Chains A and B, each alone.
Chain A
Amino acid sequence: MEGIWVLAEHTAGQLRRITLELLGKGRALADARGSRLVALVLGHGVEPLAGPLAEHGADGVLLADHPSLASYGVEAYTHVMSRAIHEHRPWAVLVPSTANGRDLAPRVAARLGAGIVTDVEDLWVEGEQLVARRPMYTRKAVGTVAFVGDGPRIAVMLPKVFPPADRQEGRRAEVRRLEVNLETVPVRTRVVERREVRRERVSLVEAEIVVSGGRGLRGPENFALLEELAAELGAAVGSSRPPVDSGWVPHDYEIGQTGKTVSPTVYIAVGISGAPQHLAGMSGSKYIIAINKDPNAPIFQVASLGVVGDLFEIVPRLVAAVRRLRARA
């Protein structure tokens, strides 16, 4: 099963949205090379995922199904993935840029001596070469990087950059089970506990709309305003850094150089000045709406729509306005 591979991440028996995004991009690459698109799945009881993977463009599905793979562990996952790549020699492997993808991919690359590029926001074939583009220097530059030499190419792909693959009902794939033998693999890391950070709706990096608050919110209680707006829009709530440092919201909310990178369709910056370190995490958004009382705030330089005004007056009325429009739609 050579060709283009996608590492299919899943959670609670469902493919993650980013997996569908990678299948879309992977399909285009496979077509460009006239080769097959193969999804690699690690987990336990993952056979039911083969159907949806096929319907989203996979020609082949490789299942590594084993009780010890039920949850992510770096040693077992590195072993299984490296073995699979070594044996089947895919031309390129696309890995989602998630906490586990970023933990796993570099280690696999090191084991195999593979080329690896992370934070990929575009990927294409040029002759026999695979070429990637990635933001660098806190998004103040864009680097174009080519894989050289033979052997596996590993691309760790940013979320929300590629549209998810369309579902084609009834599409089928060749499904194969990988032999998994973990007896010789030393396991020196063990998860002893998992704590949830509760989110009402979608995750921050996967959200179509992000409502983000900054120091202008003045206190934790005012994040309720943003929550209300987000609920109306089906959005996720994020923040700049000061609300995190002041303990108003958890670090999980932070967007920017030292937080998350998000690329939603709409980013609504509320009471955020637009420091370069914040822009580093959100300037890839399709549309940016900024609400700020300072007409000279740098955020207005990147805003698709900038609104000068007091957030405490505007946001509650925006909630009402959105509600009205949705009622009409």
Chain B
Amino acid sequence: MNVVVCIKQVPDTEQPIRVKPDGSGIEEQGLNWILNYYDEHAVEEALRLRERHGGTVTVVCAGPARATEAIRTALAMGADEGILVSDPLLEGTDHLGLARALAQAIQRLSWDVVLCGRLATDDNAAVVGPALAEFLGVPQATAITRLEVGEGVARVEREVEGGVEVLEVQLPAVFTVERTINEPRYPTLPGIMRAKRQEIRTLTLADLGLAGAGAEGEAARVRYVRFDPPPRRETGEVIRPENPEEAAERIAAFLRDVAKVL
């Protein structure tokens, strides 16, 4: 069972985000970059598949040179190999372009399952997984909370409105994982040491035979034109009522008179 995990490096969600004064993007200086939260779960699930079924775990990440740190985190958790897809031409690409590049990188490997996170916490797109499945020509299941792999077929669970769906999906396939699928392990010290020394292959679009083939920024069908800070919420009132009765009355009055929902 060979598993490929797609990982992204994103800003730590614990820290504030500042939009550049000219609205062209966010201030990257001083940001702490980490492995996307859901991708930790994807790496964990891949390691569990390897523990149960043997095989290899390869992580693939598209991004600038700093993204190798995210790859090292995954290697320290126990992944066997890391590949960085990096090319200035990818600047300004959209999620479909990115998925094309990742698909091309994955196609060069031997794989049975591709795991992605449910979404990347920076742009919240949730696009790359299904797009990747389409470009690889395989079935998909998104936001899965459980994965059991059998002979050529996987049984997965997926949260939908008001319930859970159990699906059988033929392999090879792409899955995006929800956080409840597992509890990711922490990297071990020997793991961290090993990851530090490990070689990470870098591939450009030309290496992937993709120069001018729709993965570069030029071909993007959507383009960010501006970033703004979130709209300021009108500052409200914080009250310290004398007693709980008064507190209850004030809230009820708010519901009736301001929110007008009673």
Interface residues of A (CB under 8 A from B): 11, 74-75, 78, 98-100, 102-107, 109-111, 113-119, 131, 134-149, 151, 153, 188-197, 199, 203, 205, 208-209, 233, 244, 251-252, 257-258, 265-266, 268, 276-277, 280, 283, 286-289, 291, 295, 300, 302-310, 313-314, 317-318, 320-322, 324-326, 329
Contact = CB atoms under 8 A, between A and B. Distances in A.
Contacts of A141: 17, 19, 26, 227-230
A106 B127 contact: yes
Given A145-B224, A276-B13, A309-B241, 4 more contacts: A99-B161, A257-B121, A266-B259, A325-B262
B185 interface: no
B51 interface: no
A228 to B, nearest CB: 13
Contact of B166 (A117, A191, A252): A191
Contact of A326 (B96, B250, B262): B262
Nearest to A232: B262
11 contacts: A74-B139, A110-B99, A116-B95, A119-B125, A137-B13, A197-B163, A289-B254, A295-B240, A317-B244, A321-B248, A322-B255
Main secondary structure of the interface of A (DSSP, over half): mixed
Contact of A287 (B16, B158, B259): B259
Contacts of A149: 221
A306 B236 contact: yes
Interface in B213-262: 214, 220-231, 233-234, 236-241, 244-245, 247-252, 254-256, 258-259, 261-262
Interface string B138-164: 111111010000000001001111111
B228 A144 contact: yes
Contact of A307 (B138, B180, B239): B239
A309 B221 contact: no
B238 A303 contact: yes
Contacts of A135: 124, 230
